[in-house]
């Protein structure tokens, strides 16, 4: 660490070149996290994550990185899962408040903006720290399928196909080449798994892969292991 950096390193103070080091450190936590992908298809969105099971002693179902927020919205995380759970709980409360207050489901964009406002607050809150997690938020509302990425800084970006985590660059390279508008659900899931495999050193296994899907006619749900295995076989050309 450079001596001149020390004065700006322990708090939310801009360095002379306009950097917030604590936010950058939070982004590094995301980059070291598991690879997560999301793709929009014709009438829905799919989220896929490799849970990175590092020991045969671990119970795979105890690791949860895809969460349901509301009937029509789900999210996947990369980075510090404990931080993500706090944001997930907050998002669920916001969704229920909107439903009780206005008697309608919250839009995906409105929820994502509220989450990002909450994350941004912790980039200048004395005694706190940024959330060391990024979220891929997926949902379907009256505007159609939506997919957003949220950053530890509180920034948000909408994507047709996106990725967060350690394998992001490899995944985005494949999406740039092969993603197409109006894909079917099966095509989107297979492409997502192939991109995830490209970013992963070992072969994907159904116990370590988590898939969440939401469509205009189907509430957000996570696929069971049999469904995951069937899609993995399709991705491998079996």
Instruction: Confirm whether 37 is domain-assigned.
Output: yes
Residue-wise pLDDT tens digits, 108-139: 999 999 999 999 998 887 677 899 999 999 99
Instruction: Confirm whether 61 is domain-assigned.
Output: yes
Nearest to 148 by CA among 165, 130, 135, 133: 135
182 backbone φψ class: left, alpha, beta (φ>0; ψ -120 to 50): left
Instruction: Confirm whether 22 is domain-assigned.
Output: no
Looking at per-residue confidence, does 8 or 191 come out higher? 191
What is the domain range of residue 200?
Answer: 29-235
Global pTM value: 0.91
Residue-wise pLDDT tens digits, 51-88: 877 778 888 788 899 999 999 999 999 999 999 999 99
Helices 185-198 and 168-178 pack at an angle, to 10 degrees, of 140
Looking at per-residue confidence, does 168 or 9 come out higher? 168
Instruction: Give the distance between the most distant pair of CA atoms in the chain.
Output: 57
Instruction: Confirm whether 2 is domain-assigned.
Output: no
Instruction: Confirm whether 199 is domain-assigned.
Output: yes
- Tell me how many domains the chain contains: 1
- Is 6's pLDDT higher than 70? no
67 backbone φψ class: left, alpha, beta (φ>0; ψ -120 to 50): beta
Length of the chain: 238
CATH number at residue 121: 3.60.20.10
- Is 2's pLDDT higher than 80? no
Instruction: Confirm whether 16 is domain-assigned.
Output: no
Instruction: Confirm whether 12 is domain-assigned.
Output: no
Instruction: Confirm whether 13 is domain-assigned.
Output: no
Residues 6+ apart with CB under 8 A from 155: 116
pLDDT tier at 20 (50, 70, 90 boundaries)?
confident
Residues 6+ apart with CB under 8 A from 19: 8
pLDDT tier at 8 (50, 70, 90 boundaries)?
low
């Amino acid at each position: 660490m450079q001596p001149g950096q020390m004065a700006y390193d322990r708090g939310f103070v801009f360095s002379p070149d306009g950097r917030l080091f604590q936010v950058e450190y939070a982004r590094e936590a995301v980059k070291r996290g598991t690879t997560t992908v999301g793709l929009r298809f014709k009438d829905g969105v799919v989220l896929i994550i490799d849970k990175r099971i590092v020991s045969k002693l671990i119970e795979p179902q105890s690791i949860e990185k895809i969460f349901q927020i509301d009937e029509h919205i789900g999210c996947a995380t990369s980075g510090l899962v404990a931080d993500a759970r706090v944001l997930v709980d907050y998002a669920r409360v916001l969704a229920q408040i909107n439903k009780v207050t206005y008697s309608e489901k919250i839009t995906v964009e409105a929820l994502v903006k509220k989450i990002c406002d909450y994350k941004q607050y912790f980039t200048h809150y004395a005694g706190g720290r940024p959330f060391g997690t990024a979220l891929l938020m997926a949902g379907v509302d009256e505007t159609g399928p939506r997919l957003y990425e949220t950053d530890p800084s509180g920034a948000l970006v909408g994507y047709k196909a996106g990725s967060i985590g350690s394998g992001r660059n490899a995944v985005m390279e494949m999406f740039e080449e092969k993603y197409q508008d109006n894909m079917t659900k099966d095509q989107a899931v297979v492409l997502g798994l192939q991109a995830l495999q490209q970013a992963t050193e070992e072969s994907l296994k159904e116990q370590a892969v988590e898939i969440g899907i939401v469509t205009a006619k189907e509430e957000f749900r996570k696929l069971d292991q049999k469904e995951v295995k069937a899609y993995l076989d399709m991705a491998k050309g079996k």
